[in-house]
Amino acid sequence: MSQPQKIQIFDTTLRDGEQSPGASIAPEKKIIIARQLARLGIDVIEPGFAVSSPGEFAAVQQIARELQQVEIAGFARAVKADIDAAVQATQDAARRRLHLFISSSDIHLNHQLRKSRDEVVQIAREMVAYGKQFVNEIEFSAMDASRSGREFVIELVEAVISEGATIINLPDTLGYAMPNEMASLFRSVRKEARGGDTVRYSAHCHNDLGLAVANSLAAIEAGATQIEVTVNGIGERAGNCSLEELVMAIETRKDALGAETGIRIGEIYETSRIVSRTMNFPIAYNKPIVGRNAFQHESGIHQDGLLKNRSTYEIMDPAAMGISRSMIILGKHSGSHAIKHRLEEYGIETTEEQLKSIYGRFKEVADGQKIVTDDQLIQMAGDLTQTRPDPYALIDLQVHAGTQRARSATTTIRNNERGTDHSYTAIGEGPVEAVIGAISQAIPAEIAFEDLELHSLSTGEGAYGEAVVSIIHSGKRYRGTSIHKDVILASAQAYISACNQAIMTAGRAREEDHAGGAKESRRILR
């Protein structure tokens, strides 16, 4: 069997991805994402457009200095000032390349550049030769290659190869190509351009027709050994080829593609979250791999199959990508088997009678809300036997929000172990900050609030909102979820739920330590 072809992953989240409407990032924050990309194991990073601003130049320089294990691409138009800035900003990189581009389609030449094909060839030649004095590795991109005349792309590529370009990138800039056209473009350039067999090939596909990953895979089949991607597929318009989708397609279908990447797939989810948070760019629920629903199942038939064997309804193991979320969403399509299983995950065992009654209440709630959170389910199970498994419960919440004075919140929290209620007040820049501050006073643990996501579960004024809060306690992340028509209340409940999980986990660890690793105690409802 032949060795799989190694595909280099070129990440342009911080350059092309940043061109996503609404996804900009302060230059000084780019290093946070760059460090995570290095942990993920990308081969090449394009940290920004050095000539565009002093802040951008500094960010490229900082990343080039710090990320010594990754090749750095200095991005430049075919213009001396751009090349100078890119060369200077990447000066201290351990390995670097210059990434130069110019348009090749008649549409761009006539309407934007207002230059003839000969002029474009001449500029490309001169600028590649200019860059080559400073950097040995030159990547040349023929922008809009997929909408350019084939003979002209070949002529341009021949010219830049003769001046020393070492990597040829053929972008589908507008996301217009079909996979067979993309493959054919790569095949003919590789075969017909003089010197075409002396360079490496790269694909850079946009997703306007949802074909960026398919087109990148087609380019691989036609000889490309580098693919340009962005995390979560962010980028201009509908975005770029998504890193996680491409990598997981290669990983999952090695058999069909005969290719591999050096990506550490266990870092995929964390990378996606960091990019989404740092760039304030939400991820669609149904986004492959990293979307909230990507490994969640609501239909009773699917849930039943999964509980018997994961491979019945999943082609990838979410845990391998660092996705720890529960695969089963409890909602109106769930069966009692899934409810029983979820309760058991929390150490709650039920008799058949109890399960029947919990299931009845569950269905009532699920009908109105669509989905039922774990916390609500535990509450239903607890109510049945007058036991309350959570250490803390929210008894009352009052919030004052407005434009004239600080937002304040007063909460009454019950300590279920002691059976006492206490009230706490805090202020914040926003009502949620005030609520979190007030609740935190009741909980005697070092808890770092990490993130709050709010989603609407339906439309209209009476829509239910879902709050998902993540916190960090003793180095571990906990997520609490809650659903309510009042999103401030949902946020408070989700926060308490996450804190309760952290406190219960710490308590269990202490008990196990005490018992010298004795078997985990199970909560039995009687």
Q: Which CB, 16 or 56, lies closer to Zn ion?
A: 16
Contact between 373 and ligand KIV by CB under 6 A: the answer reads: no
In the complex, what is the shortest distance from the CB of residue 204 to Zn ion, in angstroms, rounded to a whole number?
6
16-24, 57-65, 81-89, 256-264 -> range binding Zn ion (CB under 5 A): 16-24
For residue 250, the tally of other CB atoms under 10 A from its CB is: 25
Distance of alpha carbon 155 from alpha carbon 189, whole angstroms = 9
11-19, 57-65, 422-430, 487-495 -> range binding Zn ion (CB under 5 A): 11-19
Give Cβ neighbours of residue 506 (< 8 Å, ≥ 6 apart).
445, 473, 474
In the complex, what is the shortest distance from the CB of residue 30 to ligand KIV, in angstroms, rounded to a whole number?
17
Distance of alpha carbon 409 from alpha carbon 403, whole angstroms = 15
Give Cβ neighbours of residue 406 (< 8 Å, ≥ 6 apart).
427, 428, 429, 434
| Cβ atoms of 45 and 63 closer than 8 Å | yes
Q: Which CB, 206 or 342, lies closer to ligand KIV?
A: 206
In the complex, what is the shortest distance from the CB of residue 238 to Zn ion, in angstroms, rounded to a whole number?
11
Q: What is the torsion angle, in degrees rounded to the nearest 10, for the CA atoms of residue 159, residue 110, residue 209 and residue 237?
A: 100
- Which of positions 153-192 make contact with ligand KIV (CB under 6 A)? 171, 173
In the complex, what is the shortest distance from the CB of residue 335 to Zn ion, in angstroms, rounded to a whole number?
46
- Comparing CA positions, the residue from 193, 191, 219 lying closest to residue 205 is 219
Distance of alpha carbon 340 from alpha carbon 343, whole angstroms = 5
Q: Which CB, 11 or 16, lies closer to Zn ion?
A: 16
Which phi and psi (to 5°) does residue 504 adopt? -65, -40
For residue 398, the tally of other CB atoms under 10 A from its CB is: 13
Contact between 82 and ligand KIV by CB under 6 A: the answer reads: no
Q: Which CB, 214 or 488, lies closer to ligand KIV?
A: 214
Please give the size of the binding site for Zn ion, defined by CB under 5 A: 1
Distance of alpha carbon 31 from alpha carbon 505, whole angstroms = 33
Contact between 245 and ligand KIV by CB under 6 A: the answer reads: no
Distance of alpha carbon 448 from alpha carbon 499, whole angstroms = 10
12-20, 218-226, 258-266, 518-526 -> range binding Zn ion (CB under 5 A): 12-20
97 binds, among Zn ion, ligand KIV, none (CB under 5 to 8 A by kind): none
Q: Which CB, 176 or 424, lies closer to ligand KIV?
A: 176
Contact between 139 and ligand KIV by CB under 6 A: the answer reads: no
- Comparing CA positions, the residue from 320, 173, 161 lying closest to residue 238 is 173
| Cβ atoms of 295 and 285 closer than 8 Å | no
In the complex, what is the shortest distance from the CB of residue 101 to Zn ion, in angstroms, rounded to a whole number?
9
Amino acid at residue number 155: E
Q: Which CB, 16 or 453, lies closer to ligand KIV?
A: 16
96 binds, among Zn ion, ligand KIV, none (CB under 5 to 8 A by kind): none
3-class DSSP state for residue 420?
strand
| Cβ atoms of 218 and 180 closer than 8 Å | yes
Q: What burial class does residue 255 get, using C-beta atoms within 10 Å of its C-beta: 0-12 exposed, 13-18 middle, 19+ buried?
A: exposed
Distance of alpha carbon 297 from alpha carbon 13, whole angstroms = 30
Contact between 101 and ligand KIV by CB under 6 A: the answer reads: yes
101 binds, among Zn ion, ligand KIV, none (CB under 5 to 8 A by kind): ligand KIV
Which phi and psi (to 5°) does residue 466 adopt? -110, 130
Q: Which CB, 16 or 375, lies closer to Zn ion?
A: 16
In the complex, what is the shortest distance from the CB of residue 174 to ligand KIV, in angstroms, rounded to a whole number?
8
392 binds, among ligand KIV, Zn ion, none (CB under 5 to 8 A by kind): none
| Cβ atoms of 119 and 71 closer than 8 Å | no
In the complex, what is the shortest distance from the CB of residue 244 to Zn ion, in angstroms, rounded to a whole number?
18
In the complex, what is the shortest distance from the CB of residue 240 to ligand KIV, in angstroms, rounded to a whole number?
8
Number of H helices, E strands in the chain: 17, 18
From residue 14 to residue 53, what is the string marking binding to ligand KIV with x (rule CB under 6 A)? Answer: --x-------------------------------------
The residue assigned the tokens 């919030």 is 399
Contact between 267 and Zn ion by CB under 5 A: the answer reads: no
The single residue among 30, 96, 204, 342 that binds ligand KIV, judged by CB under 6 A, is: 204
Distance of alpha carbon 436 from alpha carbon 383, whole angstroms = 26
| Cβ atoms of 406 and 428 closer than 8 Å | yes
In the complex, what is the shortest distance from the CB of residue 321 to ligand KIV, in angstroms, rounded to a whole number?
27
9-17, 184-192, 361-369, 390-398 -> range binding Zn ion (CB under 5 A): 9-17
| Cβ atoms of 306 and 313 closer than 8 Å | yes
The single residue among 7, 14, 15, 16 that binds Zn ion, judged by CB under 5 A, is: 16
Contact between 146 and ligand KIV by CB under 6 A: the answer reads: no
Which phi and psi (to 5°) does residue 204 adopt? -135, 100
In the complex, what is the shortest distance from the CB of residue 234 to Zn ion, in angstroms, rounded to a whole number?
11
Q: Which CB, 141 or 271, lies closer to ligand KIV?
A: 141
- Comparing CA positions, the residue from 471, 496, 315, 259 lying closest to residue 389 is 496
Secondary structure letter of residue 434 according to DSSP: H
Please give the size of the binding site for ligand KIV, defined by CB under 6 A: 8
In the complex, what is the shortest distance from the CB of residue 249 to ligand KIV, in angstroms, rounded to a whole number?
21
Distance of alpha carbon 181 from alpha carbon 189, whole angstroms = 12
318 binds, among ligand KIV, Zn ion, none (CB under 5 to 8 A by kind): none
Which residues lie near Zn ion (CB under 5 A)? 16
Which residues lie near ligand KIV (CB under 6 A)? 16, 101, 141, 143, 171, 173, 204, 206
